[in-house]
Amino acid sequence: LPDHIALFCCQAGVGVEERKKGYDASHDIDKSIMLEALADRLAEAFAELIHHKIRTDPDFWGYVPEENLSLSDMLKVKYVGIRPAPGYPTQPDHREKDTLWRLLDAENLSGGKMVLTESLMMMPAASVCALCFAHEKAKYFAVGQINKDQVADYSARRGCTVEDSERWLGSSTLGYEPPSQ
C-alpha cells in the first residue's frame, strides 16, 4: 500500500544533567528524580504534540485535518497512522536512530544540543525520535522473536555482520542464544 512518512526528534532535557548533578551532590535525591521524570514526561508530551500537528495541521502535513480526538482516545492510539520509534517492539533495531538522525541532520539542526552516543543513546536523555506513518491501515505490531536465518538475511541486507545485528537487536528479539563473544 502506498504511504508517506514523517520523521522527527525532540527533547526537553537541555541542562537537566547539570542540575541533577547539583541535586545529587547536595543529596537532594527527590528533586533529582522529579526533575528527570518531569523532563522525560515533557519530551513525551512534546512528541505527542508534534505527532498531532503532523496529523492535523496543514502547515506540518495535515493528512487528517478533521481529526478531533479526546485526550482519552489519543492515549488509546485511536488516531490515523502510527508513530514507531527505534528500539521499541515495532522497530527493535536501535541502529535506525542513526539513520533517522542523519536524515534529519538532527545534531546540526539542534545546535549540538541533541546527540547520539556510540551506544546510540539519545542525549539529553529526555529525548524522543520517531517515524510517523500516515496510512489508515498502518498498525503497531511487535516484531517478536526472530531466528538466526532471519538475522542473517537482515544483516546481509543491512551490509553488516550477524554478530553486529545480534548485539543491536538484543535478547528479547532474538529467538536463540547467540554465542558468547
Note the pLDDT tens digit of each residue in 104-132: 999 999 999 999 999 999 999 999 999 99
Question: How many Å apart are CA 89 and CA 95, to the nearest integer?
Answer: 14
181: confidence class by pLDDT, cuts 50, 70, 90? low
Read off the pLDDT of residues 6-63 as tens digits, 9 standing for 90 and up: 999 999 999 999 999 999 999 999 999 999 999 999 999 999 999 999 999 999 999 9
Percent of the chain exceeding pLDDT 90 equals 93
Question: How many Å apart are CA 79 and CA 40, to the nearest integer?
Answer: 23
Report the candidate in 97, 103, 133, 135 with the shortest Cα–Cα distance to residue 6. 133
The identity of residue 42, as a single letter, is: L
Please report the domains of the chain, with CATH numbers, ordered by start residue: 5-143 (3.10.196.10), 144-181 (no CATH)
Question: How many Å apart are CA 97 and CA 100, to the nearest integer?
Answer: 5
Q: What are phi and psi of 46, to 5 degrees?
A: -65, -40
Question: How many Å apart are CA 9 and CA 50, to the nearest integer?
Answer: 9
Read off the pLDDT of residues 143-173 as tens digits, 9 standing for 90 and up: 999 999 999 999 999 999 999 999 999 888 9
Q: What grid cell was written down for 78?
A: 485511536
Answer whether the bond into residue 124 is a cis peptide, omega within 30°: yes
